[in-house]
Amino acid sequence: MDQMEKVDRLRERANVTYEEAKAALEANNWDLLDAMVALEKEGKTIPPQQSDYSTSYEQQEHYIRVQDKVEEQQNSAPKVGRSIRDGIRRFWRICVDNAFCIKRDGQLVFQLPLIVLLLIVLFSWHVSVPVLLIAMLFRFRYSIEGKDDLDRVNDLMESAGNAADGIREGFQKAGNDNAEK
């Protein structure tokens, strides 16, 4: 390689002028590597632009975390519509996953999907509600059983059953008092 080629090559790699490249080569006995090191020590070289590449999303400015995007979409949805929709879905799931049980003296008499009971009450409430209430006077008890924990509803139905027992006992006591007279 002749001197001119060495000057060209050093000028391109070190990003210096022809004069600086020639002076560095002459000072280092025309050795390219030594001339490059000398130019770096003098601070005359401009280091090449370096780029970092990473697959980590934290280091990428244009990447968006999926979780952040989902939360943004959920927060931008109208809350009233979403809460009504979620309430309807939860109500539907409870109706499908649970059953209305009718028991007498602790023995299961009849079991019916909760959705069927709701349809019966909805379309014939004027007959079904009185029948259910009167049946409580004959020691029938109601509960909802299934996947969901509906203890509050079952406690309310138990309280209604206890009230019906109190009414029944009151009728029996009144009947016994009338029979004695």
| 33-64 pLDDT tens trace | 898 888 888 887 766 566 565 666 555 566 66
What is the pLDDT, as a whole number, of residue 48? 58
What is the pLDDT, as a whole number, of residue 100? 92
What is the pLDDT, as a whole number, of residue 147? 85
d(CA 181, CA 176): 9
d(CA 3, CA 99): 96
d(CA 9, CA 41): 18
DSSP codes joined into one string, 51-111: ----S-GGG-TT---HHHHHHHHHHHS-HHHHHHHHHHHHHHHHHHHEEEEEEETTEEEEE
Tens digits of residue pLDDT in 62-114? 666 777 777 777 776 666 666 788 888 988 888 889 999 999 988 999 999 99
What is the pLDDT, as a whole number, of residue 149? 81
d(CA 30, CA 27): 7
Tens digits of residue pLDDT in 117-168? 999 999 999 999 999 999 998 989 999 998 888 888 889 999 999 999 898 8
Provide the percentage of residues in the chain whose pLDDT is more than 70.
85
Structure tokens, 171 = 């009728």
d(CA 89, CA 86): 5
d(CA 45, CA 119): 85
What is the pLDDT, as a whole number, of residue 57? 52
